[in-house]
Chain A
Amino acid sequence: MSETVLELLDVRAGYGTIEVLHGVSLAVGRGEVLALLGPNGGGKSTTLKVISGLVDIMSGDVHLASRSVAGVSADKLARLGLCSIPEGKGVFPNLTVRENLMMATHTGAKLSDVEEVAYTRFPRLGDRRSQLAGTMSGGEQQMLAMSRALATNPAVLLLDELSMGLAPLVVARLYEIVAQVAETGVSVLVVEQFAQSVLGIADRAAIMLSGRITRIGAPAELAEELSSAYLGGKG
């Protein structure tokens, strides 16, 4: 594996009195796509929130490019190149498409450039540049969220349930882009409840159950285990 960009070291974290992650360790290399899979309530989203700085850790450490970033605020992390699309609400619903893209220009990029890249990648967004993001379909919203995320040239991309509520074709298109982005050297951590959509592009996959990583390995090795994790036996 190439150099490690993002690393979790025995992280314990949770909300208030409840510990949700009971010692999670993970490493994502440069240009790698790691899929974090498992049923709901297993702690996948919490893991992402810990990495992006929205949930404080109780013990352990998070390293970004070999630097400890535990306790660093979310906005600072974002400016350090850690970009995430949270589950189901990756856009500002009361801003237009254009204004949503404007939120990615804090890196100094020009809005017109950002727009051009986005509209080339997803022509449908170009048709709707003055529409409020909240009134678009789920697929278009994810395209917008993705465009905005990529416009910041992140080092690490965190994706939470990208496929949720989307048609399979749209999901395939989005993950195709994720794969392209990874090839340019961006590290990607994908959380998915629905495994199949992401296994095609993942370099490695990890299964998370009850706040612990139970398996980690090549996607093919994990296929069997996955169906039992979801549907309790047959699959």
Chain B
Amino acid sequence: MQDFLAYTVLGLCLGSVYAIAATGLVVTYSTSGVFNVAHGAVATMSALFYWQLRFGWHAPAPIAIFLTVCVFAPLLGLVLEVVVMRGLRGTSEVTRLVTPVAVLLGINGAATWIWFRNSNRALVPKKFFGETHVQVLGQAVYYHQIIGVLLSIVIAGALYVLLYRTRLGVTMRATVDDRSLLMLNGGRPDRVSMASWAIGASLAGLAGVLLSPQLGALQVFALTLLVFDAYPAAVAGRLRSVPLTYLGAMVLGLSKLYFDWISDAGQRWLVLRNLRNAIPALLLFGALLLLPQDRLRGAIVTRTRERFRVPTMREAVLWGGVLVAAVAMLQSIMSGSAVISLANGVALSLMALSLVLLTGYAGEINLAVFTFAGVAVIAAWQFDVGPTGLATQKSLSVGAVLLAMCVCSLVGGLIALPALRLRGLYLGLATFAFGIIVYQLVILQTQPLNFNIFGGEFTVNLFTNGSLTVPRPHWFGINFAGQRAFLMLMTVIFAVLGIGIIAIRRSAYGRMIVAMKDSPAACATLGLNITRLKLGVFMVSSAIAGLAGLMWAAERRTLPNNADFDGFQSLLLFMIAVVGGIGYVSGAFIAGIFLSVLSVVMPNVFDKLGSDYPSLHWLFVTVLGNFSHYVGPALVGIGLGKNPSGIAQQIMDGFRPLKKAPGATAIWVIAIVGLWAATWRGAVSNWHFALISVGSLFIVPRIIMSVFEDRFAEEERAVAGEDLDLIGIGRAFRASDRQVLDTALGLPAAPIGGVE
């Protein structure tokens, strides 16, 4: 009994800190509609800032805490609101989710760059008042924890007063109720948003400082994950209610501590060792399932800024062939290490491809693509290796691939089934929670699981030795073990899957998927069972993710059970896929290559430049190399608000002039092929080939534009000279159209107004 009470006290202490973190999230969501995934990153950055002041520069604790919580964190929040979040109005839910992800990765990248660039130094955070504590029912309760409890009570009270007693707070609530009515009343929603982001960030900062002593030494992503743990509390409050969020936070804190109590701090059941870490994710999943059924809605934003074109089947097959040919030609002149980078990129492209169908077409979100890769690898390993633990195959069998796809599809269905009634963001969170659960309970599981089924012993090997080895396939009499052969195999798989996905989009099934994304309500009234269709799409996309994941693992050969599955990698992939152009197969390809280039190739290029030109080492390595490595991916994600349709779309627009000048385009292609042949024969270095071919991609469309200026001008005129009766029908009516009409009708330029 005494133990129970003692653990209850400790649970409430932990819950208090979660409450601070979660209410910050609620404050920002409820006033801006953006679910701030970057909340944890703000907390991390603030905790590091605090560490720097307090332990790096030995400032007194009160000054350090004041500067962190009341100056630094709110400023960070303000900057985020003004620079990034404000641009998200009128974009789709996917974009509004991805941009904060980019911010998260950017802030964490910057934090890593600032504090952990040189070595893995240990920044050890200390509790307030060190180890000073009081004994409560036989358990040590630190002053630090008591401060946390007191602060959370003070904050709860202060938030209540703010939201219900002050004009600013009431205005914040009014913004949620009716933004345009607030404007009609002279309120300034923008300022209100700034205030709420500042408050939210300040709470994140405080939570970061309070949580950080839980880690022995500060680590950027570990601390961010610690703040993720507060999500279930915010969801329990439906992202709106502060009291419910507090309740949720307490349940969360108590759950963790009660688990410690009944499991003897994890000593009792070894198989469930990591359950404690999975508790927040399990609660998040549970809280999501308890949310009320989302009402069938129509289009919330009538016209989002994202627009995707659909290629014809002929185009799809043509470009698939071009892709395979281009990769085949390129790899023949590439060095071994470059081939590895390219193969890595194509593998990631395959993973991104599963998102084109799911997110680009159907508008659903999966934040656990890498988890499906892990599941696929376990399934395939089980099939090829069997319960004995001895390899029976030296190559990846077709059966293993099919099994892995089936298992992923089923798992995807099982996750999605209860979550499908939720709307996009919540479904995304559910998949994220699923990813964490699988990571903690399955992928980190090093115990072989022994089952006794019908009397027969049955052993499931998970990541028994901390890693699994995935052999490469030997299919159709071809051994794909070699790097180049495997690259070609993956490219062909990408092309075939890509053509298949475009075929789906162009089929009746594809039209239904897109229709469902555009207006679920209309689909339902046409007789479409939306839940079933969504489930089907989720299962197909999970199967693709499984296949892609196997290829990705086989490309790496040995798959360790850590870094890639903790959730961030899936977030990053999702973000880059959206940046590449989530509605396009080509977007998936760009995304994979981009990810590989940004994280591997660019730093290498800058390193090489730095060693070639030692005097500019600081510029290339210290500034540009680190920049592209740590914050590059985040910056492109943040830019998404400006061009939500993605890079693929931009590239297509850029190359449109080529269509008007087929002759010139043909000459250009022939020239590149000729250059390739020369490189292949050794007459030109591959470095020069890369320089010239990549350079020409940027220059040639412009040259064609200027040389054939007449042709484009003619087209412009054709647009201007359109049928007067049809003005404003085919496109938006513009003020200039009116002048055209006035001129045509011989009216005076300045209209005479007034009825009286």
Binding site for B on A (CB under 8 A): 9-10, 12, 14, 16-19, 23, 25-27, 52-54, 58-60, 73-75, 78-79, 83-84, 86, 89-95, 99, 102-107, 148, 152, 213, 216
Contacts and interface: CB of A to CB of B under 8 A. Distances in A.
B303 to A, nearest CB: 7
B728 interface: yes
Contacts of A27: 754, 756
B187 A75 contact: yes
Contacts of A12: 738
A28 to B, nearest CB: 12
A25 B753 contact: yes
B751 to A, nearest CB: 5
B181 A86 contact: yes
Interface string B156-167: 000000001001
Contacts of B752: 10
Given A102-B167, A103-B171, A17 B731 contact: yes
A17 B732 contact: yes
Interface string B666-701: 000000000000000000000000000000000000
Which of A19, A104, A213 has the most C-beta atoms of chain B within 10 angstroms of its own C-beta? A19
Contact of B178 (A16, A25, A73, A92): A92
B186 A58 contact: no
B76 interface: no
* Interface size classification for chain B: 20 to 34
A92 B181 contact: yes
Nearest to A151: B185
B183 A58 contact: no
Interface of B: 164, 167, 170-171, 173-174, 176-178, 180-189, 303, 728-729, 731-735, 738, 751-756
A13 B184 CA distance: 19
Contacts of B733: 14, 17-19, 58
Contacts, number: 107
A25 B735 contact: no
Nearest to A27: B756
23 contacts: A10-B752, A10-B753, A25-B753, A27-B756, A52-B184, A60-B751, A74-B183, A75-B182, A75-B187, A78-B183, A78-B185, A83-B184, A86-B180, A86-B184, A92-B173, A92-B177, A95-B170, A99-B170, A99-B174, A103-B174, A103-B185, A106-B185, A148-B185
Contact of B181 (A73, A90, A104, A213): A90
A106 B182 CA distance: 11
Nearest to A204: B756
Given A74-B183, A78-B187, 12 more contacts: A10-B752, A18-B733, A19-B728, A23-B751, A75-B183, A75-B189, A86-B181, A89-B181, A90-B181, A92-B177, A99-B173, A103-B182
A89 B178 CA distance: 9
A17 B726 CA distance: 12
Which of B170, B185, B753 has the most C-beta atoms of chain A within 10 angstroms of its own C-beta? B185
B183 A73 contact: yes
Nearest to A7: B754
A95 B174 contact: yes
A216 B756 CA distance: 8
Contacts of B180: 54, 74, 86
Contacts of B734: 58
A16 B303 contact: yes
